[in-house]
Structure 1
Amino acid sequence: MRQTYRTDSPTGPREACRSLPCRPADARSTVRRVVAERCRTRAIPCDDDALDDVLLVTSELTTNALLHGGGITGFAVDVDGGGVSVSVSDRSDEVPVVEAPVDGQGRNRLGGRGWPIVCLLARDVSVAGLPRGGKRITAVVPLGRQR
């Protein structure tokens, strides 16, 4: 059985916020609720540390959409086969990149650690362009410890 929560909005950021998680905390709450509902069915094992990983990935994807992507335009969470798939869409066509933690002059950069965290914790990460512009990033995080 699949448990899915999905919402997409072609509208502007204010209208989208009426139906989308507009803050990382809203998205984490939605993921926590959907995962808890799925785990109650006992169809899949739910590991508390793995749930923490899913919540961190959710925070990073939504924060990056807000800071670098022009806002959240779509959000989905799907629990299936022992993994949680979190998808966040935004308005930017730019693919995330990993930057060195220090700049060319040896100074520490602020930020820039979210994308490596997502790539480390997820077993699968994909970035897809959207037909009307923007992108959707999907990360699949195992619910049971598989690392």
Structure 2
Amino acid sequence: MPDTPRSTAGLRCEDARSIARDVLAASGVGEHLVNDVLLVVSELVSNAARHAGGVSDFRVVPLAGWVAVEVSDRSSSFPRTPRTPLDVPGGFGWLLVNEIADHTEIRSYDEGKAITAFILLPAAPRTTVRPSCPTPDRPARSGASPHAAHEVLGAPR
């Protein structure tokens, strides 16, 4: 199965989208899903450039029934969803990623973090996902950090 190169320091959004397009085409991912994946790629790469010193690693990996988009950076700060008024530009990227992706994970490590967005391919069985991040219809659980990664039961591997 095609995969992206591991060393992609300083990656620009347009280059990341081109890499993702090539991986998706080689994997036979339908055109209807490509735009969703490319939007997630753009948001994660641009957020890493804007808020975390740039991309240190980038991967797009087709899995059984899923596409995983992973962006790593050198910042230990987790993404936040600011309370930006709707009439003010910006501040919606992380919210958009979580709206498109069926599951997101954030892994912290010594040199920064990796964010992986999993997008379900049509006709694949759904995995049970229980987000720990609060949303308007799902308030934070007691003791849960609003910036914690999602908890997953039966996550795609």
Contact 1:6-1:77 within 8 A present in 2 as well? no
The runs of 4+ residues in structure 1 deviating greater than 6 Å are none
How does the TM-score come out when normalised to structure 2? 0.72
Task: Tell me which amino acid in the other structure corresponds to 1:137.
Answer: I
1: CA distance between counterparts of 2:42 and 2:88? 20
- 1:38-82 CA-to-partner distances (Å, cap 9, x unmatched) read 11xxxxxx3322111000000000000000010110111110112
Aligned to 1:3: 2
Matches within 5 A, 1:48-59: 48-59=31-42
Letter in 2 for 1:124: H
Distance 2:40 2:119 in 1: 8
Q: How does 1:59-70 map to 2 (within 5 A)?
A: 59-70=42-53
Which residue of 8, 16, 26 maps to 2:15?
26
Q: Which residue number in structure 1 is paired with residue 24 of structure 2?
A: 35
**Cα offset, 1:4, TM superposition:** 1.9
2:106 corresponding residue in structure 1:
127
Aligned length: 125
| Post-superposition offset of 1:123 | 0.9
For the residue of structure 1 that corresponds to 2:6, the secondary structure is strand
Structure 1 residue runs of 5 or longer lacking an equivalent are: 10-15, 40-45
Query: 1:144, CA displacement in angstroms?
Result: 2.5
Partner of 2:92: 113
Q: Where is the helix percentage greater, Structure 1 or Structure 2?
A: 1
Instruction: Tell me how large the CA RMSD over aligned residues is.
Output: 2.0
Alignment match, 1:141:
119
Q: TM-score, normalised by structure 1?
A: 0.77
**How far off is 1:145 after superposition?**
7.0
SS in 1 for 2:81: coil
Structure 2 CA distance for partners of 1:130 and 1:6, relative to 1, 3 Å: farther
Q: Which has the higher contact order (CA 8 A, sep 6+)?
A: 1
Return the alpha-carbon distance in structure 1 between the equivalents of residues 96 and 35 of structure 2. Answer: 13
Report the Cα offset of residue 92 of structure 1.
0.9
**Residues of 1 paired with 2:81 and 2:32: CA distance?**
25
Query: Unaligned stretches of 5+ in structure 2?
Result: 127-157
Give me the identity figure in percent. Answer: 37
The counterpart of 2:73, out of the listed 90, 100, 110, is: 90
